[in-house]
Amino acid sequence: MAIVATTTKFSIYGRPVLAWIVGLIFFFPIFWLVLTSFKTDADAVKPEFLFFFTPTLDNYLNMTENYDYWRFATNSVITSVFATVFALAVGIPCAYAMAFNPSRATKDVLMWMLSTKMLPAAAVLYPMTFITKSIGLFDTHFMVILVLMLINLPIVIWMLFTYFKEIPKDIIEAGQMDGVSTWGEVKEILIPLAWGGIASTALLCFIFCWNEAYWTVRLTTTEAATLSKLIEGNRAPEGLFFGRLSAVSAAAVGPIVVLGWFCQKQLVQGLTFGAVK
Amino acid sequence: MGRIVLENVTKSFGETQVIPPLNLTIEDGEFAVFVGPSGCGKSTLLRLIAGLEETTSGQILIDGEDATQIPPSKRGLAMVFQSYALYPHMTVRKNIAFPLRMAKMDQSEIDKKVEGAAKILNLADYLEQKPGQLSGGQRQRVAIGRAIVREPAAFLFDEPLSNLDAALRVGMRLEISELHNRLETTMIYVTHDQVEAMTMANKIVVLRAGHIEQVGSPLDLYRTPRNLFVAGFIGSPKMNFIEGPEAEKHGAKTIGVRPEHITVSADTGPWSGRVGVSEHLGSDTFFHIHDTGLAETITVRADGEVGFKHGDTVHLTPRADVIHRFDAEGLRIA
């Protein structure tokens, strides 16, 4: 049966309106966060100042002057970048092997990798903390990078595997016949062909690393602490200072939102898993 | 140089043996065609020679050297795939130059060879295009170009023409034969199409279920097929098989008569029947004759001018000197 494009009133007016409503619902928390970050702590909790208030930059100034925002931000960048690079360095060969030389165990290995994501992180919190402290890696960049890389590895490998699977095996075999070494196959054929997939995997991995809070908060104190830790650190015993907290949060999510904005297309491809070739 | 010898080679996938012990020699400079119905193991055999599949047991010798454990990249063979398998991210020039670049050849030398191959294959105008912009025939030529620049010990072709339309296939068939005459390099060609096998090969290897049924020149196989399978597989239209009293007259379980070895006439001949479908090719006409009492249908190849119609009664005369006789096991009786 032929698919006939129907133009209904809903498709002309309804869909855009619905899309805007959904968009606004998703955007509202960010909007509120940014708005609140320009209020004083006192104004932030008063409903009458919801939209109309005297904006102030104090929260941001306070954050950079008193909380060493840049150190946390630098740590976030370092740990996310390195964790992503290492995850790809391990994930690409791994996904390559499984995609082009599958064995009977390949499916099970993939499932097992995914199953590690089903483990509640809290279940290994105590051993992890204990081990990192006893081997002297607590609050080090190395440990944070290692943990970020490991927790994201399953999803990185799954995504890369899906992309690599789309490359015809003939092309890899043609490479072998043309005298390419294994490393050459990866460098000359696989990476150029799967470039879009690798980029979106890297981007998603970077975002997950940046947003990770559970482990970064628990395995660091000051040296390797990331922006997640900075946000968490703004809980004061006296209560929550919403203005200050909002400014810290906005500054933490800001870079990743900007990055996501510029890489929208890649991201959509990454999330629709191999649907785009 | 490219003499390829298979000694007791077997291949199993898990418990299933797809190639039982097999021996075969392909002489240097030969054009060998592996032919057989789908699933007969011909592609697997080619991939074993290429090294893309691991040999389960036995030895593969290339120019006397045991290559069984050598990876495909080091065997010095070039392969042309059914799907062309070009590198889609590279231009035609880079595709053809790729194996040379991998061999770390000088850029000036590479350029010279690529230009040379492009000229032979009529690709000179397309060197800067990507494979996606080319037609099927051009893509296959690029794949061949990528193979010839390496000057391999042997070329392996895995059903290279199956994705092309009929007219182009005939053209490419000639080009590949021409290439073989020019290069005089060993070529091993896999196809399920017996016409390709007959027209291109010096040596045809007929395979069924991993077994070699017969090896020989195209005319050997046509004239003296070793068994019923080869007799039925080689030749188009297919050989007529007749059992029963008519075969017993020749002292055989089955006799085979090729359609081109039967004369059809309106009044004389030992066999008679009724004309069913006639296929007119212009030069020739294939008559499918029913109710002969010999076999369900007897196919006859007659001159294109012979004009019998559906339902006509006709008489058939087989040429006595080219009746093939087979015993109860289906083997040829000498």
DSSP per-residue letters across B177-228: HHHHHHH--EEEEEES-HHHHHHH-SEEEEEETTEEEEEE-HHHHHHS-SBH
- B333 domain residue, yes or no: no
- Closest Cα partner for B27 from B151, B185, B168? B185
Residue A66 or A126, more confident: A126
The dihedrals phi and psi of B329, each to the nearest 5 degrees, come to -85, 0
Per-residue model confidence (pLDDT) at position B264: 94
Answer whether residue A275 shows pLDDT above 50. Answer: no
From the list B79, B88, B98, the residue facing A193 with the nearest CB is B88
Answer whether residue A277 shows pLDDT above 50. Answer: no
Count other Cβ atoms within 10 Å, centred on residue B74: 12
Disruptive mutation site among B16, B49, B81 for chain A (greatest number of A CBs within 10 Å): B81
**CATH code where residue B174 lies:** 3.40.50.300
Per-residue model confidence (pLDDT) at position A40: 85
Question: Closest approach of chain A CAs to the CA of B95, in angstroms?
Answer: 10
Cβ under 8 Å to A: B residues 78-117: 78-79, 81-83, 85-89, 98-99, 102-103
B153/B246 same-domain check: no
Burial class (CB in 10 A: 0-12, 13-18, 19+), A60: middle
Boundary residue ending a domain (B183, B201, B231): B231
To which H or E segment does residue B139 belong? helix B136-148
Disruptive mutation site among A104, A177, A180 for chain B (greatest number of B CBs within 10 Å): A177
Cβ under 8 Å to A: B residues 136-175: 143, 146, 150, 156
* CA–CA distance, B61 with B63 (Å, rounded to integer): 6
B184/B39 same-domain check: yes
Task: Find where tokens 């932030």 sit.
Answer: A44
B171/B298 same-domain check: no
Residue A121 or B239, more confident: B239
Yes or no, beta carbons of B79 and A177 under 8 Å apart? yes
* CA–CA distance, B118 with A145 (Å, rounded to integer): 51
Identify the closest residue of chain B to A182 by CA–CA distance: B73
To which H or E segment does residue B60 belong? strand B57-62
> Which residues of chain B have a CB within 8 Å of the CB of A181?
73
Yes or no, beta carbons of A178 and B52 under 8 Å apart? no
From the centroid of its chain, how far is CA A223? 22
Residue A174 touches chain B, beta carbons under 8 Å: yes
Per-residue model confidence (pLDDT) at position B234: 94
B85/B134 same-domain check: yes
> Which residues of chain A have a CB within 8 Å of the CB of B82?
170
Per-residue model confidence (pLDDT) at position A276: 37
Residue B301 touches chain A, beta carbons under 8 Å: no
In this prediction, residue A53 has a pLDDT band, given cuts at 50, 70 and 90, of confident
Question: Closest approach of chain A CAs to the CA of B248, in angstroms?
Answer: 52
B175/B142 same-domain check: yes
Yes or no, beta carbons of B77 and A177 under 8 Å apart? yes
Identify the closest residue of chain A to B74 by CA–CA distance: A179
* CA–CA distance, B250 with B252 (Å, rounded to integer): 6
Q: Kindly report the three-state secondary structure assignment for every residue of B166-191.
A: HHHHHHHHHHHHHHHHHHCCEEEEEE
Question: Closest approach of chain A CAs to the CA of B52, in angstroms?
Answer: 7
The CATH number of the domain covering residues in A69-271 = 1.10.3720.10
> Which residues of chain A have a CB within 8 Å of the CB of B73?
176-181
What is the edge-to-edge ordering of all strands in the sheet holding B271-280? B262-265, B313-318, B271-280, B284-290, B298-303
pTM of the model: 0.82
Provide, for chain B, the percentages of residues in helix, strand and coil under a 3-state DSSP scheme, each rounded to the nearest 5. Answer: 30, 30, 35
Boundary residue ending a domain (B210, B231, B252): B231
Q: Which residues lie across from B125 on neighbouring strands?
A: none
B256/B212 same-domain check: no
Q: Could you read off the pLDDT of B5-19 as tens digits, one per residue?
A: 999 999 999 889 999
Count CA atoms within 13 Å of residue B10 on its CB side: 11
Residue B207 touches chain A, beta carbons under 8 Å: no
B198/B300 same-domain check: no
Spatial contact of A166 and A160, defined as CB atoms under 8 Å apart: no
Round the average pLDDT of chain A to a whole number and report it: 87
- B138 domain residue, yes or no: yes
Yes or no, beta carbons of B81 and A170 under 8 Å apart? yes
Yes or no, beta carbons of B102 and A178 under 8 Å apart? yes
**CATH code where residue B289 lies:** 2.40.50.140
> Which residues of chain A have a CB within 8 Å of the CB of B103?
179
B223/B241 same-domain check: no
Burial class (CB in 10 A: 0-12, 13-18, 19+), A19: exposed
- Closest Cα partner for A199 from A123, A121, A259, A130? A259
* CA–CA distance, B91 with B30 (Å, rounded to integer): 32
Question: Closest approach of chain A CAs to the CA of B100, in angstroms?
Answer: 8
To which H or E segment does residue A243 belong? helix A242-262
Q: Predicted ipTM?
A: 0.86
Percentage of chain A modeled with pLDDT above 70 = 92
> Which residues of chain B have a CB within 8 Å of the CB of A170?
81-83, 85
Cβ under 8 Å to B: A residues 180-219: 180-181, 184, 188-189, 192-193
Q: Could you read off the pLDDT of A192-248 as tens digits, one per residue?
A: 998 888 988 999 999 999 999 899 999 998 888 999 888 888 776 666 788 888 888
Q: Could you read off the pLDDT of B118-168 as tens digits, one per residue?
A: 998 999 999 999 999 999 999 999 999 999 999 999 999 999 998 888 888
Yes or no, beta carbons of B73 and A174 under 8 Å apart? no
Per-residue model confidence (pLDDT) at position A1: 46
Question: Closest approach of chain A CAs to the CA of B83, in angstroms?
Answer: 7
The dihedrals phi and psi of B252, each to the nearest 5 degrees, come to -135, 160
Yes or no, beta carbons of A173 and B79 under 8 Å apart? yes
B210/B277 same-domain check: no
Rounded to a whole number of angstroms, the CA Rg of chain B reads 23
Count other Cβ atoms within 10 Å, centred on residue B291: 14
> Which residues of chain A have a CB within 8 Å of the CB of B83?
168, 170
> Which residues of chain A have a CB within 8 Å of the CB of B102?
178-180, 184, 188
- A179 to A131, B74, B96, B306: CA distances (angstroms): 46, 6, 13, 57
Per-residue model confidence (pLDDT) at position A52: 77
Yes or no, beta carbons of B72 and A173 under 8 Å apart? yes
- B332 domain residue, yes or no: no
What are the DSSP calls for A79-133, one per residue? Answer: HHHHHHHHHHHHHHHHHHHHHHS--TTHHHHHHHHHHHTTS-GGGGHHHHHHHHH
Spatial contact of A72 and A225, defined as CB atoms under 8 Å apart: yes
* CA–CA distance, B161 with B173 (Å, rounded to integer): 8
Q: Where in chain A are the domains?
A: 69-271
Per-residue model confidence (pLDDT) at position A121: 87
Q: What pLDDT tens digit does each residue of chain B (334 aa) get?
A: 789 999 999 999 988 999 999 999 999 999 999 999 998 999 999 999 999 999 999 999 999 999 999 999 899 999 999 999 999 999 999 999 999 999 999 999 999 999 999 998 999 999 999 999 999 999 999 999 999 999 999 999 999 998 888 888 999 999 999 999 999 999 999 999 999 999 999 999 999 999 999 999 999 999 999 999 999 999 989 999 999 999 999 999 999 999 999 999 999 999 999 999 999 999 999 999 999 989 999 999 999 988 899 999 999 999 999 999 999 999 999 8
Domain range for B274 is: 237-326
From the list A170, A188, A189, the residue facing B83 with the nearest CB is A170
Residue A275 or A90, more confident: A90
Per-residue model confidence (pLDDT) at position B273: 94
Answer whether residue A184 shows pLDDT above 80. Answer: yes
B178/B65 same-domain check: yes
Residue B77 touches chain A, beta carbons under 8 Å: yes
B187/B50 same-domain check: yes
B247/B142 same-domain check: no
Provide, for chain A, the percentages of residues in helix, strand and coil under a 3-state DSSP scheme, each rounded to the nearest 5. Answer: 75, 0, 25
Spatial contact of B175 and B137, defined as CB atoms under 8 Å apart: no
Number of domains comprising chain B: 2
Spatial contact of B22 and B212, defined as CB atoms under 8 Å apart: yes
- B334 domain residue, yes or no: no
- Closest Cα partner for B53 from B30, B72, B35? B72
Instruction: Compute the Cα dihedral for B103, B107, B113, B115 and give only its sign.
Output: positive
Yes or no, beta carbons of B98 and A188 under 8 Å apart? yes
> Beta-strand (E) ranges in chain A?
235-236, 239-240
The dihedrals phi and psi of A168, each to the nearest 5 degrees, come to -60, 135
